[in-house]
Amino acid sequence: MLVVVHHAIQAYGPADWWYVEGADGVESLSVLSVVNGSFSMSLFFLIAAYLLPPSYDRKGGGRYLLDRFRQFGPPILVGFLVIIPVLMYFYYVNFRDYGPIGFGAYYLDIYLGMGEEPADWSGPIWPDRQFGHLWFIQHLLVYAVLYAVWRGFCVGVTSWRGASSPSPARPATAPGAGTIVGFTLAVALATFILRGWYPVDQWVPVLEFIQAEPADLAQYAVFFIVGILAYRHGWLSAFPTRAGYVCWA
């Protein structure tokens, strides 16, 4: 619901380009957009990561990866090949000055890049193909694969060292206030440094396939790691209620 509301108010609140133009923005919607955008995607990555370890433990590496590709692969492919091209076509014919073009010619020559790149191409990348708002699902799939690789590496290292008796379980303890403040400052500094090179809303293709916004990458990747650690160490159940209210305030 946060995602739907956030993108619905883009056309009527922030001073940002959207498909609806020519209307005055509503200041309260602009504030809502900024506040929601500051935390929501990081929270979604944390929640998604929190649910990965129990899924991997229950299914094992092979079935875990197969289920992830079954879950994320079809919407990514359908969006990439069917839905996003339609949106990009309307954007191309209405907001780019390249003259009229049919959808079929656009799909093959411009979107898939089978034609020649125009000399004055306005980008941001060539060809016009992209994943649009499916980038989140795409990132979840990439992170899931990386997590499986990491678990496999850990198993290999354990086997190489030889089986050892498990250490006794320790009571779960949540990070203290100092750790949380230090974590916040570290993420803020990393984000500040990244945005010196990559402004907000500048997207780059990683390995010509992964659609990434480097400006927020420090938040998303780190909170994904935090989600995994939170599950492994029982942080959410061990975090004191009073400390939660203090942080909220």
For the segment 52-79, what is each residue's pLDDT rounded down to a tens digit? 999 999 988 889 999 999 999 999 999 9
The pLDDT of residue 180: 87
Select, from the ranges 10-14, 23-27, 38-42, 115-119, the one with the highest average predicted confidence (pLDDT): 38-42
90-126: b (≥16 Cβ within 10 Å) or e = eebeeeeeeeebeeeebbebbbeeeeeeeeeeeeeee
Q: Which residue has the tokens 């001073």?
A: 15
Of 6-10, 25-29, 116-120, 155-159, the one with minimum mean pLDDT is: 155-159
The pLDDT of residue 112: 92
Select, from the ranges 9-13, 132-136, 183-187, 207-211, the one with the highest average predicted confidence (pLDDT): 183-187
Residue 16 confidence class, pLDDT cut points 50, 70, 90? low
Residue 25 confidence class, pLDDT cut points 50, 70, 90? confident
Fill in the DSSP letter of residue 162: -
Domain boundaries, the chain: 1-37
User: Cβ distance 29 to 9 under 8 Å?
Assistant: yes
Tell me if the pTM is above 0.75: yes
Does residue 203 surpass a pLDDT of 70? Answer: yes
pLDDT tens, 2-14? 888 888 888 887 7
Helix (H, G, I), strand (E, B) or coil at 205: strand
The pLDDT of residue 223: 95
What percentage of the chain carries pLDDT values higher than 70?
A: 90
Distance between the two ends of the chain, CA-based, in angstroms? 23
**Residue range 24-40: average pLDDT?**
85
Does residue 21 surpass a pLDDT of 70? Answer: no
Nearest partner of 89 among 102, 76, 75, 77, judged by Cα = 102
**Residue range 126-135: average pLDDT?**
86
pLDDT tens, 78-122? 999 999 999 999 888 888 888 889 999 999 999 999 998 888 887
